[in-house]
Structures are given as C-alpha cells and as structure tokens.
Amino acid sequence: MTGSTFKQANLSAIIIIQGDWSYTNLRGQHLQNLNLQHVNFSFADLSGARLEKSDLPHANLTMTTFMKANLREADLRGANMNGVNFRDFDLANVKIDFTQAVMMAKSFGARVEENE
C-alpha cells in the first residue's frame, strides 16, 4: 500500500493485518477499534483520522502526521514515534510507554535529564 491515497474512500469496514502503509494518505479515515500492531505507517498522513481505541503497539509511526487526529484511548505502547509532533493531536487517555513520555515531554519544550 506504500504511497497509496484513500481520499474519499470508505474504509469503515477495513481490517489491516500488518503490512507497509508508509507514505499513504489516510486523511480523515475511520480506523477506530482496529488492531494495527506492527503496521508500518511511517511518513503517512493520518490528519483528522479517527483512531480512537485502536491498538498500535509496535507500529512504525516515524514522521507520521496526526494533525487533529482522534487517538483517544488508543494504545501506542512500543510504537516507534520518532519525529511525531505530539502537539498535533489530543492525548486524552492514550496509553504510552516511558520512551514516548520522554519524547512527548521534549516536544512540549521540557528538558529531560538523567539523575547522576
């Protein structure tokens, strides 16, 4: 699916089992309550997408755009989120791991230091 666009497509009944969805245009798509573990969404555009309650552990979300996406109650633990702008989407009740918490804090301007 690399580089595909789904503008005006109805994906409400889709089931995605792994795969390479990098560079895809999934703007505004309804992808809630899906098991998206291990899917490669690197550099994909998920602006305005509905991903609430979706499972994304171990997904590759490197440089994925989430502008105004709905990720409420999604599980992101273990997902690669390098280059994601955490300020672009609502983080309410999103499950994240420690590494992602540090990345998030840095994206909001925090200076994270290790104890010596």
CATH for the 1-104 domain, from 3.60.10.10, 1.10.645.10, 2.160.20.80, 3.40.640.10 = 2.160.20.80
Residue 43 confidence class, pLDDT cut points 50, 70, 90: very high
**CA nearest neighbour of 41 among 94, 82, 90:** 82
**Predicted confidence (pLDDT) per residue in 89-102, tens digit:** 888 899 999 999 99
Whether 91 and 110 have beta carbons less than 8 Å apart is answered as: no
Alpha-carbon torsion (71, 75, 80, 81), positive or negative: positive
Residue 116 confidence class, pLDDT cut points 50, 70, 90: low
**Predicted confidence (pLDDT) per residue in 4-21, tens digit:** 888 888 887 888 888 999
Domain boundaries, the chain: 1-104
The reported pTM is: 0.88
State in Å, rounded, how far the first CA of the chain is from the last one. Answer: 46
